[in-house]
Amino acid sequence: MNKMRSGFVLLLSLATSFSVMAQSDMDERKIRFGLFASPNFGWLKPNIPEFEKDGLQPRMGFGYGAMMDYKFSASPNYLLSTGFNVTTNGGGMIEPWETVITETDTSYRFLGTNDRTYRMQYVNVPILLKMRTGDVGYLSYFGAIGVDLGFRTRSRINNTYTWLGTSQLQPEDEEDLDFSANTNFMRMALNLTLGAEYNLTGNTNLYLGAGFHNGFTNLFNGGVANRILDPAPDGTPALSVLNQVIPTQQKKASTYYVSLDVGVFF
């Protein structure tokens, strides 16, 4: 009997200790705010075969912003996470290209490929369900899933040409061109983030997360300039029996990036 009583007391003590250890800084609060910075590694995924997939160019980007957690139930382990951030990302793809130059009433046609790099900037509003453990010592862990709602603020491109043949009139490469008129204003993406928090003092937590942002809307709008040319086997434009390039379908590609999020909750 004494052994059973001792065992019960031990179990009760362990349960009490775990309960104290699992306390969360959201136990007594409904809302908390934080700031973060977020370097990222991004690329574009073409959704049509006319883009040359071997030419994909990943790019480094950066983001920063504010975050907010809202405790929508009695449990501090389930939170609605949102906020806003300004994020730059991008990538590159190779496509068949034609340029016509007119000089003194004479037109010159150049055929080749365009190795184009895209640099995008968005204001993002994430809407996430965050599932968070209680504190184990000074650490807690979380997983979050939801969507990013992005609103384009800037779109720039660099064009790097490779032409067939040689000529002094061949167009030169171009840098930092405005491409906003050819891109969709809104971007939507799946946001999956995993990470941990470390309690510094009181309600102040150091935040570290790794996020995967899977875009599922088209980067390009439906403008006439976004029709891609039919490629020949070498990647340059295929020509019709009338020796003309062959425009095909609208360009389609989605933006992806992986982020490392470092911040502080207050």
3-state secondary structure the chain: CHHHHHHHHHHHHHHHHHHHHCCCCCCCCCEEEEEEEEEEEEEEEECCCCCEHHHCCCEEEEEEEEEEEEECCCCCCEEEEEEEEEEEEEEEEEEEEEEEEEECCEEEEEEEEEEEEEEEEEEEEEEEEEEECCCECCEEEEEEEEEEEEEEEEEEEEEEEEECCCCCCCCCCEEEEECHHHECCEEEEEEEEEEEEEEEECCEEEEEEEEEEEECCCCECCCHHHEEECECCCCCECECCCCCECEEEECCEEEEEEEEEEEEEC
Average pLDDT over residues 82-96: 95
Q: How confident is the model at residue 9 (pLDDT cuts 50, 70, 90)?
A: very low
For the chain, domains (ranges, CATH) are 30-265 (2.40.160.20)
Record the pTM.
0.85
Q: What is the pLDDT of residue 8?
A: 40
Summarize pLDDT for 18-49 with one digit per residue, the tens: 334 445 666 678 999 999 999 999 999 999 98
Q: How confident is the model at residue 99 (pLDDT cuts 50, 70, 90)?
A: very high
